[in-house]
Chain A
């Protein structure tokens, strides 16, 4: 994920997000999508959102699930080229080993868009890449906390993702840098919850014991929603009210965090959108129909959701996506 740094240089792509600007531009186009697999709920949601977006735009989407194997992805891409598709989307399983097949696509004049992960290949081999900015996700969560607590002193505990993983490093960096600007907000404890619900609960239990039965904790920041849901359980077990006594902010926006918001137990979640295909299709539309070259790195919006944003509606909208 070293390209994340480059993402920071790129301006928001708000204009590209509205596909209405290019009415039925991709109608009838054949687009191949080589997906990694369905290893996580988010991945499954990305697949179903991509299929839905394609159906809406009238795209004939050729979908290939690689079952976590690069060789299957390369085979699928070669198959797409042989078929003569109009464009190819790839969510690459590893960063290396794409030069040859991407060159083949380039020679066949088929534009390639990378989704949500980058590759170690020359930039001219693909049209653009669509991904989220993990540092920004953490920063948005930090900004929300700053605007919520104002100048009151606030002790924050942080539940980190898997040690060494890029989302854990970047989401910590973004949040820590944001709150460092406000001297009244201090991160008192930080520990890994390995992105799982059970570990998140365990870590929060430890924090509560260490911080005067939880009375000294003002807010908890979890690197993903699953750990936040675990933390909410731990707060309830300690006899405190999550969302009121201890503020809960996390990242991902999975359906469960919205049901927690409906119950008043979670305060904010920054979305890692599964809709990587929307901006990709918009960029392809502009490229195929008008010849517009999109920026090399398109960053998806890191939208903040709070209980004011119709959490019940958001829950209903997401629950069928496969999370």
Chain B
């Protein structure tokens, strides 16, 4: 087996084993309803995590994701409820603003040579603060389109629902997989994460690629915000707090190397589902503190970091000698 695929196989195996263990304890967990819920409830996280996967593969980080989601929900609510725009017009404006926001961050990272951590931290404060200035209160969205979207779903056998927002997430993952593995932009992202200097020497357009990566991440965060506002039919400045960290966790659990240059978009999907599975298990159990979700995710993260170390130190033939003879 290809050694590079090991983390992906490990994540998938853990997910299947965990799911089977959960089913043994609660047979109800094996229902299309639970699977539909996993997809719908984690749709916004999944969409944001696709963007995060590209950022991390390129060796960067984007801490502004959760705040951009929150900002987009508020902006959408205001444009639809106060300004009176049609939701599709509001979506377009939100996505354009989110994309521009990401492009500015990408440009700052590249041209000012500031670490992505700092630039996106500033972006996080700006977006979260901006959302609270727009409206500190939660704004309910009442529009026919919202009602019809939340009412339309494909009924799966067994009462499960494949909702529109779940389908949007699946489509984003499919597009992300193609973009990462089948396009020139995708190979530039991997090259940039491997080694920026050699990537530049090989002719990778570093400036354009960096800006595009952060534009992609912010646009997807904006899309996640739209999905979140469809999910709750409301805009709230404090929604999706800390989602960037859940997204990073999903990416790492999915087998992407935090130092960049290596990873899979498909793995991120399993990472998101694994987090959702832990939460669902805790709800089904009903006696465990919900903070166990964090503990399990923390343990998984730690395990994957160790696993990556093992896989990658095994693939590079370095000899560990304690003393020389």
Residues of A within 8 A of B (CB): 32, 60-72, 74-76, 78-84, 94-97, 99-100, 103, 120
Contact = CB atoms under 8 A, between A and B. Distances in A.
Contact of B138 (A65, A66, A76, A97): A97
B234 A97 contact: yes
Contacts of A67: 290-291
A96 B279 CA distance: 23
A84 B240 CA distance: 28
The 4 closest A-B pairs by CB, nearest first: A62-B286, A97-B232, A79-B283, A97-B234
A65 B289 contact: yes
Given A74-B41, A78-B41, A99 B233 contact: yes
Interface string B279-303: 1101111110111000000000000
Given A64-B286, A83-B26, A99-B150, A120 B37 contact: no
Interface string B9-40: 00000000000000000101001011001001
A302 to B, nearest CB: 27
6 contacts: A60-B286, A61-B286, A70-B232, A71-B41, A94-B138, A97-B138
A9 to B, nearest CB: 24
Nearest to B243: A71
Nearest to B77: A96
Nearest to A95: B138
Interface in B126-145: 138-140
B304 interface: no
A96 B284 contact: no
Interface residues of B, number: 35
Interface string B183-215: 000000000000000000000000000000000
B51 to A, nearest CB: 18
Contact of B139 (A75, A82, A96, A99): A96
Nearest to A94: B138
B69 to A, nearest CB: 10
Nearest to A77: B283
Given A83-B26, A96-B139, A96-B232, A72 B239 contact: no
A70 B283 contact: no
Looking at B28, B34, B232, B236, the one whose CB has the most chain A CB atoms below 10 A away is B232
Contacts, number: 96
B286 A75 contact: no
A71 B37 contact: no
B314 interface: no
B28 A96 contact: no
Contacts of A68: 241
Contact of B236 (A63, A96, A99): A96
Nearest to A108: B159
A120 B282 CA distance: 28
Contacts of A96: 138-140, 232-234, 236
Contacts of B241: 68-69
Contact of A71 (B31, B33, B140, B239): B239
Contacts of B26: 83
A285 B289 CA distance: 27
Contacts of B286: 32, 60-64
Tell me whether chain B's interface is mostly helix, strand or loop, or mixed: helix
Contacts of A79: 34, 37, 279-280, 283-284
A70 B236 CA distance: 10
Contacts of B233: 96-97, 99-100
Looking at A67, A81, A97, the one whose CB has the most chain B CB atoms below 10 A away is A97
Contacts of A103: 150
A76 B284 CA distance: 9
B37 A82 contact: yes
Contact of A74 (B140, B232, B287): B232
Nearest to B241: A69
A84 B283 CA distance: 12
Contacts of B150: 99-100, 103
A6 B37 CA distance: 35
Given A82-B37, A97-B138, A70 B239 contact: yes
Given A61-B286, A94-B236, A97-B234, A75 B41 contact: yes
B209 to A, nearest CB: 33
A66 B283 CA distance: 10
A96 B290 CA distance: 23
A74 B37 CA distance: 10
A76 B290 CA distance: 10
Interface in B238-281: 239-241, 276, 279-280
Given A32-B286, A67-B291, A100-B231, 7 more contacts: A62-B283, A71-B239, A71-B240, A74-B231, A82-B28, A96-B234, A97-B231
B122 to A, nearest CB: 24
B138 to A, nearest CB: 4
Nearest to A79: B283
Looking at B228, B240, B283, B284, the one whose CB has the most chain A CB atoms below 10 A away is B283
B28 A64 contact: no
A83 B232 contact: no
B242 to A, nearest CB: 8
Contacts of A94: 138, 234, 236
A13 B41 CA distance: 37
B244 to A, nearest CB: 14
A94 B241 CA distance: 14
A80 B37 CA distance: 11
Contacts of B34: 79, 82
